[in-house]
Amino acid sequence: MTTEPEPRPVLVLASGSPRRREMLEEIGVPFEIRPSDIDESIRPDEPGPAYVERLAVEKALVAARPGTVVLAADTTVDLGGDLLGKPADRAEALALLDRLSGSTHHVHTGVAVVWFDGGGATTPTVLSSVATTEVTIAELPAPWKEWWVSGPEPYDKAGGYALQGSGGVFVTEINGSPSNVVGLPLDLAARLLAESGHDLMSFLSPPRAQE
């Protein structure tokens, strides 16, 4: 009597971020999107790495279902221990640029992978870690700041800028993973998935036989 192999799990991205979605799409790995709505408040005296790792795990657990492998991430910009969020308006965006101008900050991204082991397990297994990249911003003249805040880019990004967008013109040096600054350190995500027993290649469909 032969035993049927367990069906291949579905990779789920627990994020509504278009940047994270695009990064996975560029790899060519099929996945589903299941954004997680959680409280993202920072706890008292919580350092940046601990904050983003906690949120990534919470997001992944909310989205977890049997038969899936959930990938979640959360990113923050850390300037001397002060975690910078998304600016709410023009004044906040300008204030963020004033603080970042001519300085070096750290981008932390927590990544979590959550899955259910075979055999009808009801408790999910969790793997998580954090990537940190050091980013240096040029001294920004006032016209550059005004140009930047006049567009839509600063208002949906932690720290008010994005490496992959027009804000990349501000960045003079990066030490660490560039994809981490975009919002998903692909090397870390691939490593955690491999450690979970679900290598990225395992989600690809087998090549179709030629007729």
Out of 37, 39, 45, 74, which one is annotated catalytic? 74
How buried is 193 (Cβ within 10 angstroms: 0-12 exposed, 13-18 middle, 19+ buried)?
buried
SS3 6: coil
For residue 74, report the phi and psi dihedrals to the nearest 5 degrees: -145, 140
Cα torsion through 190, 193, 199, 200, rounded to 10: -50
Per the annotation, the verdict on 74 as an active-site residue is yes
Phi (first) and psi of residue 133, to 5 degrees:
-125, 135
User: Which residues are identified as catalytic?
Assistant: 74
